[in-house]
Structure 1
Amino acid sequence: MLALFLLCCCAAADWIRGVEPDRQSLYKPDEDGFWTCLGNPEIRISFDKINDDYCDCPDGSDEPGTSACSLGRFYCANEGFHPSYLPSYKVNDGICDYDLCCDGSDEADGKCPSRCAQMKKEWDEETAARNAVISRGLAKKAKIQHKAHKQRTKLKYEITQLSAEIEKFEQELYGLNQLQAPTEKESAIISVFEQLDSKLEDLSSQISEKLQQLNTKRQHLRNLEEILETMSNEYNHNFNDPAVKAAAQAFQEYSVNQGLTKDEKHTDQASEVKSLFETLQNQLRDSEAEIRKLAGRGDEDQNELFDFKSTFKAMVNSFLGVSNRHQKIPSTRESEKRKKEIEDELKRLRRDLQTKEERLNKDYGPQQILMAMDDCIVDKIGDYDYRLCFVEKVEQIDRNGHAVRIGRFERTEFDEEKQQLKLIYEHGDKCWNGPVRKATVQLECGEKNTIVAVTEPEKCEYTLRVKSPIGCFEPVEA
C-alpha cells in the first residue's frame, strides 16, 4: 500500500498545471534538477521554479499554470467537452471563465465547479438544431440546383437552336446575293441597258433643247408681228416716208402668205422630231437584238433572264416623263424585300444569341446555382429597406421610397476552407463627395432568403449578411 501511495504522489508531482498532455514531456528536469526555458534555451532555472508565480522565462513557458507571465497560455482540459486555452493573465483572477474553461480549472481551490456536462448538452442541442436547419436548407438547395441545371440545359439548347437558325438565314441571304450578283453575260446585258439608258437621256435632252429653242423663236416672232401690225394699221399715208411705206407693204404681203409659211415651218419641225424618234426606234431595236444575242436566245424564248419588254417599256415611259427612270423590275424588288427581311431578322437573332451566350458564360457560383436565383428580397435594417436581387443588384431605400443602387452583380467568391459563398456587387451609385458604392453579400445557411444585417466597414462599401439555402453546406461532425 505504501509503495502504491508513493507512486501516485510521484505521478501527481510530474503533472504540470496548465500544460496540455502532449506537451507534458517538455517539462522534465535534467540530471542536475534544472530545466531550460522552451523559447530561450540559454536560460536554465531550477525545476522547482516552474509555476512558482514568478516569471523567469521571457516566453513565459515557466509559468503555464499562473498569471505571472503575460505571454503564457493556460490549458483547460474541459473533460467531456472541448479543450481550450486561456490567456495566462486570467488565471487565478477570481473570475470563472466558463466560456473557455468550463471545468473551472483556471481558478484554484475548487472556486469554480465544472459546468462542462451542462455546456456539452447545450452545445449538442444547438448543434442538432443547426444541423437540422442545414439539412432542410440543403434539401431546398438541391431543388434550386436542379432548377439551375434545367435552366442551363435549356439555355444551351436555345443557343444551339439560335445558331442553327442564324446559319439557315445566312445561307438564304448568301443564295440571294449570289442570284443578284451578275455573271459575265449578265454584266454585258446590264451594260447594254446602261448605254441605252444614257442614249435616251441624251435624246431627251436634245428634244427638250430644240423645243425650248422653238418656243423662244415663236415668242420673238409674235413680238415682231405685233410691232409691225401696229405700224401698218397706224401708218399715215400723208407722210411720204419710202422706208416706212416699204415696211408696211412687206408686212401686208407677209400677212397674206402667213398660213403657208407656218405650214412649211411646222413640216420642218415635224421632220426633225420624226428623225429623233426614228433614232430612238433604231437604238431600241439594236439594243434588243444585242441583248438577245448576249442572252443566247431567240425571239420565241419566253423564259426571261430579264424582262426585256417591261424594261424597255419602263425606259421609254421614263423618256416620255411618265415613270421613274430607275424603276426596278418586279423580281428584283421582291428579292431586295426578302433580303431586308432576312437582314433584320439576323440582327435580332444575333442580339438574342449574344445575350444568351453572355448569360451562359457568366459566373453564377458553384454549379452555377445562382442561375436559378432570379428573385428579389426586401428587408428593413435600421432606418432603411434593403432590396437584394441576387443576379442583378443591391439597393438601399429610404422612408420616402427613394432607391440608391449600391451595386450591380459582378461575380462570386467561394472560400473552400470555410465553405462560404460570397456575392460581389460593384459599380453602384456614386456617394456624395465619395467613391462609387459597392457591396459584398456573405451567405449563411438558412431555410429562407433573409437579410439579417448590413454594415459599412469602409465608406460606401457595404457588407450584407444574408441567410439562404444556397449558403448551406454539409455539416462538419462535432
Structure 2
Amino acid sequence: MVLIQTLVPILGGAVVAANGGIDETGSFVHGVEPLRQELYVGDSNDNWSCLSNPSVVLNVSQINDGVCDCPDGSDEPGTGACGTKAPLFYCRNEEFIPKYISQSKVNDGVCDCCDCSDELLSPAEPFYRGSGCSELQEAFEKIKKTELKKHEEGSRELRSLYKRFHLKDGSGNVDRMLLAEEIEKISGQLMDSELTLSSLKTKHVEQLKTENPLLYQFKQLDADYIASEIASSFERVVEVSRAYESLVKILDALSDNYLRSLNDRVVNDNVKKYDFMRSQSLRKISCDSKVEEQQRDQLVEYFQRELPQMFCEGKIDKPSKYIIGKITFVESMVFGKVDYVPVVISKIQQLSGLMSEVAENYNVNYQDSGVKEAVESYKHWLLQYQALGDGALLPEEFVEKFARLKEFVLASAGEILASSSGEQVDSTFQGVLQHIKFLARKAAAYFRPNLASEIAALESTMEQLKRQLDTKREQYRTLEDEQQGGGIRELQRLKQLIGALSQQHVLTNAIDNYVYQISLGGPIYQIENSPTGNQVKIGDLKDLRLQSEDSQPAFFSYLKSTYPDEGDLFPALVSETASDQEEYLFGNLHEASNGLVLEYSGGDRCWNGPQRSAQLKVRCAKDFQITKVYEMTKCNYGIEMTGPIGCNLL
C-alpha cells in the first residue's frame, strides 16, 4: 500500500489590506478560498451583488467592511459580522494546510488559523496565538514520519508471516494508490491553473479598461451565455423539425403505398385528411433540420468568434451597415425560429392524431403491407419523440441580455474601423479619428503582453487536465470496485494467519491491576496482578472483520493520545464544513491500519451480570503488544493492541 498525504496546495500570497480585506490589487478578498475569489469581482462601476440575493447590489468597498448588508451574509466572509449566515471562513495557512472555520471564531481574540488570518480585521490584538504554521508543519511531519515507519515495518512483517505460512500476499492493488497519487498531482496542477487563470483574467480586464474600452464593455455582456442558450434552443428547434420530417415521411409513404381498393374506412378517411393538409396547411410549414443545424453553428460562431474578434481588433472588413444589419438579422432568426416551434408542434400533434387512429383502428385482416409498415414506423417514431413537449421558450434572462448586446453593437458600429470596404474611412474627419484610435490600440497591443493568448492557452491546458482527471478517476473507481472483493480475500487470509499463529503468539501485558493474556485465535484471560491472583476468562474468538466506519475519528483520537505533547497541532487538522461535519486533514494516513476487529464472547459470567465479552481492535505495527483495556459496558471490554495483522496491504 502506498500512503499519501493529501494537502491542499499552498496558494500564493496576496497581502491582505485592512480596508475591507481586499489587497491593493483588488484581487483578493479576505476569508474567501481562491476558487471562489471570482465571485467577488465587481462590474465596471464597482457594483457587486449579494451571492444568493442578486437583487441586493452593493459597492465592492462594502465587502468585509464590518457591516452585514446582504441577507445571506455573503458580503462579510472575513469579519464575522454576519455570524452563521456568512460562508465559512477560509484559512490560507501558508506553510501548512488550508482549512475552514465557522464565522463564530472570526475576530474573537483567538487565532484559530495558524496564520492568525481570522483575527486580521479585528480592531484589537488577539489574546491567544498558539503555534505558527511552520511549527505545526514541522510537528506534523514528525508524526507522519513516525506513522509511516510503523506501517512500513508492520507491512514488511505481515508479508513475512504470509510467506512463512505459505499464504498468498494480498498486496495486489498498489496500482490504486499510484492512481490516487496521480489524481492528487493533476488536481493540484488544475487548482494552480485555475488560480493563474483567475489572475490573468483579472489583469486582462484591467488592461482592457484602458487599452480597449469597446472590448471591455463587450465582455461584460456575456456573449458566451447567449451563444450557449442559442445552441441549446436550436437543438430543440432541430429536434422538432426532425420529428415533423419523420412523421411526414411516414404519412407520405402510407398515402403513396397502401391499397385504397381494400376499402379500409379508417385508413381511407385519415389518408384523405392528410392529403388535404398536405395540399393546404402543410405547404406553409418550413422545416429543414439540416439547414437549422448549419444555422445553429453559424449563430454560435457569430457570438463566440466574429463579434469578439471584431471588438478585439477594432476593425472589420465590412461596412457599419453590415454590422447593424447582421445583428438585426440574427435577432430575427433566433426569435423567429424559436417562436415558430409551437406552430410546428401543433401540426405534429394533428398528424400524430391521424396516425394514432390508423394504428389503433385499421383492419388487421386486410394485411396491407403499406399500412403495416406505416404503423410499425409510427411506433418507433413514438418511442423516439414521445417527450417532445410543447415549445422552446427562451429564458427571460436571455431576452434581456440579448437586448443589451444588440443595443451595444448598434451603438458601437460607428466606432469599428471598416477596412477594404465601400466606406472611405480616411476621407472624413470621423474616419481619421477612427483610424487614429485603431492605430493607438494596435501600438499599445504591440508592447503589452498578449494576455488573451495566454488565457486561451491556459484554458486549453486546463481542458486537457480535466480530461486526464476524469480518466484517472474512472480508472480509480474501477479498481476500487475490484478492491471490494480484494478486502474479502484479505480477511480470509488474515483468518488463516491468525489460526496459524494461535499457538505461537500469546500476548501478555499488565494494565492497571490486572494481567491480560491473549492467545491469537484462542481465548483472552484476565488475571489479578497478585501472587494468588484470580483468573477469569473474558471470551473465545468468535469472529473478525475489517471495520472502516469511523476510521478517521478513531485515528484522530489515537493521534491525540499517542502524541500528547503536540496539543496545538490537532485542532489545526480539523476543518469545519457547511453541514457541521468535521473534515480531517491528514490525507489517507488513517488507512495504514486495515481496521481489523476481533470479537470475543462466551467468557465467564460476571457476578450479578452477563457473560464477559470483548472487542479487540488492532493497529498496524511490527510488534504484537496490548496497549489499552477498558470496560465499554458492564463486563464488555474494549481492548486495543498493535501488530502486523492490523496493517493494510490493499
Using the size of structure 2 for normalisation, the TM-score is 0.35
Larger relative contact order (C-alpha < 8 A, sep ≥ 6)?
2
